[in-house]
Structure 1
Amino acid sequence: MADRTVDVLDATLRCLLRYGARRTTMDDIASETGVSRSAVYQYVRNKDDAVRRLADRLHAEAMAAAREAAAAPVPLADRVFGIASAKVLLASGPFADSPHAAELIDEQARLCGDICRTFTEDLHGLLTAVLAEAGRERPAEAAGIILATTIGLLAVGRTDLLRTATDALLTGLGTKRLEGEQQ
């Protein structure tokens, strides 16, 4: 028998987007997968395990995209935009129209908040490394500003401004203060 874990997690995603984590049941996941409930237990321990494994998979896919952007042989602005876009990637696609997406991608989520926080910390580390490699001043602070801006744009539904924002931040973060200028 082939490992159907991917099928179970895909079914979990469809159920979560439709019903949310609280209302989704193992029976829902089994029905969506096309197997019995006992068969689902061969691949996941319980509903919480399925949700966490799904969240982990989604965040790992987004992190892979961020790492690819960081390593790309393109200008710094394109690399930074690509890394920040990984955060947006999680909120787009199937999540765009679901009121339940936050249960998988919000740092405050009961089941997956730790996965989300680790993802954001890893993005921060990746941005910091890319900015440091490019010789930017205070790369950790700059990375924090870029992530905060990305999160803010997500919150107000204006991810279309991400490229403009990252370009503006890089331009502003790349300039040194004039002598005597206030911090």
Structure 2
Amino acid sequence: MPDRTADVLDATLRCLLRYGARRTTMDDIAAETGVSRSAVYQYVRNKDDAVRRIAERLHEQALTAARESAVAPIPLADRVFGIVTAKAELMAGPFAASPHAAELLDEQARLCGDICRGFTDELHELLTGVLAAAELERPGDAARIVLAATIGLLSAGRPDLLRTASDAVLAGLGAPSKTFEGEQQ
């Protein structure tokens, strides 16, 4: 019997987009997967487990992009922007048009809030590391400012201003715009 976990999770995501976590049932997931309800239980413990696994998958994909940006041999401003763009792309992903996005992407969400908080914490660590390597003062505080600006702009529906905001924070810290990690100006 082939492992259909990915199929079950993909079907769960489609159901969540349509109905939200509260209204999605195991019967919905089974029908969307094309298997019996008892078959779904071979791959996930219950609906909450399926929802959390979807949230983990989406956040991990975004973290992979953020980690790649953090170590890329590109200017500091581009690395910082790449990290915050990972959060923007997560928010613009499959849930962009769904009224149920908060159930998977909000730090206050009942089922997935801890996953979202862990994601934000890791983005903070990545930003802090990148800013510390550039020898900026108070890199942890600067990372918090960049993240707060990112969250605020995304909440306001203005992801188009992310680059301006991250560049403004870096400029305010006196960061040279074209410095590569480890490179002397």
Which category describes the TM-score, using the shorter chain as reference length?
Answer: over 0.9
In 1, the alpha carbon distance for the partners of 2:126 and 2:98 equals: 29
- Report what 1:65 is aligned to: 65
* Distance in structure 1 (CA, Å) of the matches to 2:165 and 2:4: 42
Instruction: Output the CA distance in 2 between the equivalents of 1:11 and 1:134.
Output: 44
How many residues align structurally?
175
Residue 120 of structure 1 corresponds to 120
- Match for residue 9 of structure 1? 9
Alpha-carbon distance in structure 1 between the residues aligned to 2:63 and 2:80: 13
CA distance in 2, matches of 1:50, 1:74: 37
SS across alignment from 2:21 = coil
Structure 2 runs not aligned, ≥5 long: 176-185
1:146 match: 146
Q: CA shift at 1:95, angstroms?
A: 1.1
User: Where do 4+ consecutive residues of structure 1 move more than 2 Å?
Assistant: none
Long gaps (5+) in structure 1: 176-183
Give the structure-2-normalised TM-score: 0.93
Higher mean alpha-carbon deviation, 102-111 vs 4-13, is at: 4-13
Instruction: Name the counterpart of 1:24.
Output: 24
Instruction: Report the Cα distance in structure 2 between the residues aligned to 1:2 and 1:124, rounded to whole angstroms.
Output: 39
1:108 aligns with 2:77: no
Q: Is 1:94 matched with 2:94?
A: yes
SS in 1 for 2:22: coil
> SS where residue 171 of structure 1 aligns?
helix
For each residue in 1:17-56, what CA deviation from the matched residue of structure 2 results, as whole angstroms up to 9, or x when unmatched? 1100000000101111111111100000000000001101
- Who is 2:162 aligned against? 162
Residue 135 of structure 1 pairs with residue 131 of structure 2: no
- Please list the CA deviations of residues 123-163 of structure 1 after superposition, one character each: whole Å capped at 9, or x if unmatched: 10110000000111100000000000000001100001111
TM-score (norm 1): 0.94
The whole-number CA distance in structure 1 between the counterparts of 2:16 and 2:124 is 28
Identity of aligned residues (%): 77
* Contact 1:137–1:174 (Cα < 8 Å) also in 2: no
